[in-house]
Chains A and B, each alone.
Chain A
Amino acid sequence: MKTISNNLRLFWQGAILSYVALFHWMRPIQYTASKILMPLAQMFFFVYLGTYATSADNAAFYIVGNALQIAAVSGIYGMTMSIGGDRENGTLGYIFGAPANRLVVFMGRAFMNIMDGALGVVIAFVWGVLLMGLDLSNTNIPALALVIVITTISTCGLGLLMGCLALITVNVMFVNNFVYFLLLIFSGANIPLGDLPVSFQALSFVLPLTRGITAARSLVSGASLADVAPLLWGELVVGFVYFMLGYFLFTAFEAVAKRRGTLEVF
């Protein structure tokens, strides 16, 4: 019982403290710029580009795709910096030195990013409705909310894996940016999956976001939760696999870093 309560405490404290400390979201202006306006501007750019490429009738396709893609801001950048930030700030040694359960520490790190990422997607949908005329009148809103949460979780799974790379490379922003921008191509946010070469389609289906975006588009078109359930299960499985890969990689890198004495070597 004591172990459970300790782990719960570790989870909550880890979630809140790591978020505050690592992200420096001390001032609302920084949060507004990076988490509200940047995604909005990015969404506008791709929606205009998409409607210019095809037609204004396809606006919903690009709005929904790019709104869901916002999950990757927290999922990829947030998660990576949650882990890589410890290395940069010199606190990684304390985490590795603590007897805390690594999985709980990890979950704590992911929790706030999932909440924050889901909030970012909701804000993006609100922008979509208010500024771009997205019609959600036929949409099952609770089901869409579920899609947003599941997609954000699975994207955080990939972010966790990327975060582990932050333990062994100094060019973590390169990796982050690369993955984030590749998701813009391969997740189907901007290019219909059928238009991609077959080999690229295979890559799309092992990435998070892909199924979530497809599910969200179906829901906006009037589909029911039951219709998109298989896609959501698939998205969950993809996220789970990335989470587990990230966790095992983290423990492996921890062992390697301790053995080589390269814990905080840049």
Chain B
Amino acid sequence: MNIRMIAKYWRTILIVAEMNIRQQITDGFILFTVLFQPIIIALLGLWMLKDKGPDAAIFVVVGSGLTGLWSSLLFISGNSINFERWTGTLESLVAIPTPFEVIVFGKNLANVAQSLLSMALGYFVAAFAFGYSLEIQQPLLFVVSVLLSVIAFVSFGLIIAPIFVMNPGVRAWQNAMEFPVYVFCGFLFPIALLPGWTTPISYLLPPYWAAVALHGTSTAGASLNETLFAWGMMLLFSLIDLLIASRLFKMMLYKARADATLGME
């Protein structure tokens, strides 16, 4: 997977993304993960942080949206290849001339893009249910942060999916991987509250840099340099993730063909 491939196959990526959204729109589990869970977390956060005022409210709205992005990436994008296995379409997708990672990229893009809805809904919950007048402090920088976050999340998802396929043992940890990322990435509270030894773990997680950029630009709590640094880290991690993903997809497909386990879990 590389940038050239994305440019060449952008039409395919968009069509896959559209198909993916159409397929998932009626799935209760996906609807819950993408929309309802982040809204419930937003409600909880807004109630718990109500004494901290409107600044905390926008922090909660953005943070709960990030929880939706991560949960969607972990449970939906993480299983995006396995889903094709379960539905018996994996062999066909692997056999077509379009590289398989392009298909998974499109699926991840759809998952991450639809998860952004939770942030918008969280905004309305905060505005209507709690009466907050919320304002994004640096709208332009926020939009750029959202775009870079989408790229970072999608790229990260490209690593998770083949790892889950090649190592079912790792997938068993899926349930245990949801909340630690909420904690280590500072989605709803600053990581300064955590013990110092956990900080390097946060720095190694792309969602942490997304949280830094989105929280920083929505509350104006970060300087321009800090925001630019977070953007740079997201781009750097995206490139690294794409390189690793490229290797992982080759390994996964070779192994599946050699072991004749393409359609088998």
Question: Bound state CA distance, A39 and B74, in angstroms?
Answer: 17
Residues of A within 8 A of B55 (CB): none
Q: Mark B159-197, 1 if CB is under 8 A from A, else 0.
A: 000000000010011111011101100001110011000
Question: Bound state CA distance, A181 and B172, in angstroms?
Answer: 22
Among B36, B172, B180, contact of A177 (Cβ-Cβ < 8 Å): B36
Residues of B within 8 A of A178 (CB): 32, 36
| A23 in contact (CB, < 8 A) | no
| A44 in contact (CB, < 8 A) | yes
Chain A residues within 8 Å of chain B by Cβ, number: 34
What's the nearest-Cβ distance from chain A to residue B237, in Å? Answer: 22
- Pairwise interchain contact A41-B179, C-beta atoms closer than 8 A: yes
| B14 in contact (CB, < 8 A) | no
When C-beta atoms are compared, the residue in chain B nearest to A77 turns out to be B175
Question: Bound state CA distance, A177 and B34, in angstroms?
Answer: 12
Residues of A within 8 A of B136 (CB): none
- Pairwise interchain contact A190-B182, C-beta atoms closer than 8 A: no
- Pairwise interchain contact B32-A185, C-beta atoms closer than 8 A: no
| B253 in contact (CB, < 8 A) | no
Q: Name B19-52 residues within 8 Å CB distance of A.
A: 27-29, 31-33, 36-37, 40-41, 43-45, 47-49, 51-52
- Pairwise interchain contact B172-A44, C-beta atoms closer than 8 A: no
- Pairwise interchain contact B169-A53, C-beta atoms closer than 8 A: no
| A50 in contact (CB, < 8 A) | yes
Chain B residues within 8 Å of chain A by Cβ, number: 34
- Pairwise interchain contact A34-B179, C-beta atoms closer than 8 A: no
Number of interchain pairs (Cβ within 8 Å) = 93
Among B43, B52, B183, contact of A41 (Cβ-Cβ < 8 Å): B183
| A134 in contact (CB, < 8 A) | no
- Pairwise interchain contact A184-B44, C-beta atoms closer than 8 A: yes
Among A30, A42, A171, A191, contact of B179 (Cβ-Cβ < 8 Å): A42
Among A32, A48, A173, A177, contact of B189 (Cβ-Cβ < 8 Å): A48
Q: Mark A29-43, 1 if CB is under 8 A from B, else 0.
A: 110111001100110
Question: Bound state CA distance, A44 and B182, in angstroms?
Answer: 10
Q: Name A164-223 residues within 8 Å CB distance of B.
A: 170-171, 173-175, 177-178, 181-182, 184-185, 190-191, 195-196
- Pairwise interchain contact B28-A171, C-beta atoms closer than 8 A: yes
What's the nearest-Cβ distance from chain B to residue A170, in Å? Answer: 8
Q: Which 7 A/B pairs are nearest by Cβ-Cβ distance?
A: A174-B28, A171-B28, A41-B179, A37-B176, A52-B189, A33-B176, A53-B48
Residues of B within 8 A of A (CB): 27-29, 31-33, 36-37, 40-41, 43-45, 47-49, 51-52, 169, 172-176, 178-180, 182-183, 188-190, 193-194
Assuming A38-B179, A41-B179, A45-B183, what are 13 further A-B pairs, CB within 8 angstroms? A27-B172, A32-B176, A33-B172, A34-B176, A41-B183, A44-B179, A45-B182, A48-B193, A52-B188, A54-B48, A174-B36, A181-B37, A185-B44
